[in-house]
Structure 1
C-alpha cells in the first residue's frame, strides 16, 4: 500500500532526514526514536521546524509523543498551529 504524503509531511520528512543525516527509508508512522532521533536531535528538529514554518512551539507541546513520528509531528502542526496539509 502506497501512503499519500502531504506537502507538510514532505517538509517534515526532509527536516527529519536532515537532522538524522539520512537520505530516506522513513515512513509516516516510523518510530523516530528507533531511527536515531535522540533528545539533542529532537531539539535541532524543533528549531528547524520553528524556523521553516515561522512558529514558536509552546513548552506544553514539547512532549516525546508529539515528535514520535512524521505523522504525529504533522498532526501537532496542523491541529495546534494551524498549518495546512
Structure 2
C-alpha cells in the first residue's frame, strides 16, 4: 500500500507541475498577444500595414543612406580624416 501512496503522490506532484507550466504558458501567451496588439496599433498610427513592413524598412534604410551621403557631401573634404 505504501508503494501506491508514493506513486499517487508522484502523480499529484507531476500534475501540479504541469498545471504550473500551463499557467505560466497562458500568462506568457496573453503578454505576447498584448504586445502584438500594441505593435499593430503603433504601425497603424504610423500608417504602415504589417504586410508592408519589410518594404517600409528598406525604404527607410535607403532614405538614411541618402541623407548620410548628403551630409558627407556638405563636409569640406579637407576636414575628413583620411584614416577612414
TM interval, short-chain normalised: under 0.3
Q: Which structure: larger Rg?
A: 2
TM-score, structure 2 as length reference: 0.25
